[in-house]
Amino acid sequence: MEITDRIKQLRDERNWTNYKMCDEAGVPYVTITNMFSRGTQPTIATLSALCDAFGISLAQFFNYDADQIFLSDDERMLITNYRKLSKKDKSAVTTLLQNLNI
């Protein structure tokens, strides 16, 4: 998979626009525009900033293994706390998440 395709995949998984992705990563919009329209490759600094925004490491970015799941610290905390909930509270959290249209 090409680097730009992987970036698009991660952007789309989060339902981000290019503008939102740039804002989250602190990367100039023109950098992303040039990357997609002209086919330029991102610098390591740009790719690192994008990975930080996506909540993944550079190693995770280049790992295309769909069977392996990587969690950010926030995701790990959510799962840890979810497991401590009662069955009733887990049901309430699940309903809330479904109603958020994620």
Same domain, 56 and 76: no
With a cut of 90, say whether residue 68 has pLDDT above it. no
Q: Are residues 52 and 9 in the same domain?
A: yes
Question: What per-residue confidence (pLDDT) applies to 82?
Answer: 82
Can you say how many angstroms the Cα of residue 18 is from the centroid of all Cα atoms in its chain?
A: 13
Whether residues 36 and 56 share a domain: the answer is: yes
The mean per-residue pLDDT over the stretch 61-89 comes to 78
Alpha-carbon distance of 68 to 64, in angstroms, equals: 9
Segments forming the whole domain that contains residue 83? 71-102
Same domain (yes/no): 19, 53 = yes
Q: Which two tokens stand for residue 87?
A: 């069955």
Are 77 and 46 in the same domain? no
What percent of the chain clears pLDDT 70, i.e. is strictly above it?
Answer: 91
**Is residue 66 a part of any domain in this protein?**
no
CA gap 15, 9 in Å, rounded: 10
CATH code of the domain in which 17 resides: 1.10.260.40
Residue 63's pLDDT is 81
Q: Are residues 57 and 78 in the same domain?
A: no
Give the predicted TM-score (pTM) of the model.
0.64
Give the range among 6-10, 14-18, 39-43, 52-56 with minimum mean pLDDT: 52-56
